[in-house]
Each structure stands twice: as C-alpha cells, then as structure tokens.
Chains A and B, each alone.
Chain A
Amino acid sequence: EAAVTQSPRSKVAVTGGKVTLSCHQTNNHDYMYWYRQDTGHGLRLIHYSYVADSTEKGDIPDGYKASRPSQENFSLILELASLSQTAVYFCASRTGGSQYFGPGTRLTVL
C-alpha cells in the first residue's frame, strides 16, 4: 500500500566501502528526490531526477551518485562511504507542488 518504499531501512557500513540505497515508488510520479537529514536539522537535497536515465545535482551532491533506471526506481550510491555521511536518508516523489516521502534509511558509517 505504501507509495514510496526504501531499502534497506537501516545499514551499517565501513569507511571506504560502497553503499547503495534504493527507492521505489508506485505513485507514477515523474520527479524523485534524495535528501539527507542530520540530527536536529532539516532535509537537504542531494540529487533529484525528473525522468528515467537522467539525474540532477541538488545542494549537497559531493560524495554521492544517483541512478534512475526506470520511473519507479531511484538509487543513491556512496562509492567511498565516509564518517560524515552518517545520517538518515529520505527518498521522495513529487506531483504538482507536493512531495511524498518514504520512511527513511538510517545509515551509520563506522
């Protein structure tokens, strides 16, 4: 029933390792987003996409890649995870001016 799902819901990674976070939406929305949230702060935009096979940089793209292989799926890739990337990551899809969020992935980099 959930329209935006994320996997995994939590992950522990080692510094320098590769991490892939996945997002799937059944809203049939064109736009999808990846945000990170640090404790006590708002959401900051990492990457977004408005069509399959195309991604755009947000406000804080350094250290992250994104992939949109289909309208439904949008992945966030950390090629070399670092301690500073410990955060909660949210995926969202958009229609009109409103965004709809997944439950989040808690990533801990050790």
Chain B
Amino acid sequence: GDSVTQTEGPVTVSESESLIINCTYSATSIAYPNLFWYVRYPGEGLQLLLKVITAGQKGSSRGFEATYNKETTSFHLQKASVQESDSAVYYCALGENSNNRIFFGDGTQLVVKP
C-alpha cells in the first residue's frame, strides 16, 4: 500500500549542529507522488514546511531542505544548523494532486538543546 516511514523520535541535537530526519515512502497506488514535510510547533496545528512534486527536485524553506529521490524512494529532511526554535514534531507525507488523500508518517520529535 501507500505508506511513509520516518526516523523514530525523539531526535535531540544541540543548537548550531546539523540535522537529518530520514523519510522513505511506498507509493503503490499513486502514479505521480507529491512529497511533503509538515511541522507542528507546540500548541499549534500542522503547517506545510515544504513540498516537492517532481522527482529529482529539491524543496527548501526556513533553512530546511529535502530532495525527492525516486530511485531510493526517499525524501530526507536536512538542515545545516538548527536553532532552538526548530524544536517541533516533523511529519513526512505522501500525496498526489489528483488524489484527495495524503498519507502521513508517524512524526519525528526534534528537540534542540541550547
């Protein structure tokens, strides 16, 4: 089926360190997957962080980057230098424009220590 697997949290890093949260997907019923990273800050709803709809392309937002790799079915989230304000739960997700469904991973809690 269609599913997403991501790094199990919590992930704890120190401020100014680099970050990678792994995400792999399985898209059996979706012909042209769109890939997303959502973020949920404490007390808030999910916000779209970045979206990539074309394999081989990279999305970026707020210093975060993710590259859509069709060969390895991956969409890892990276940031070169994290800040304490990046502490949140990050969700990788899979969907399609013509499909009304989005499939979410379980979320990865990121804790950034000052």
Footprint of B on A, CB under 8 Å?
4, 31, 40-43, 45, 48, 50, 90, 92, 94, 96-104
Contact = CB atoms under 8 A, between A and B. Distances in A.
Given A42-B91, A90-B45, A102-B45, A97 B104 contact: no
A97 B51 contact: yes
16 contacts: A42-B4, A42-B91, A43-B104, A45-B101, A50-B100, A92-B46, A97-B34, A97-B51, A97-B97, A97-B99, A97-B102, A98-B51, A99-B48, A100-B48, A101-B46, A102-B45
A43 B106 CA distance: 7
Interface of B: 4, 34, 36, 38, 43-48, 51, 53, 91, 95-97, 99-102, 104-107
Given A42-B105, A50-B100, A97-B97, A104 B45 contact: yes
Nearest to A2: B45
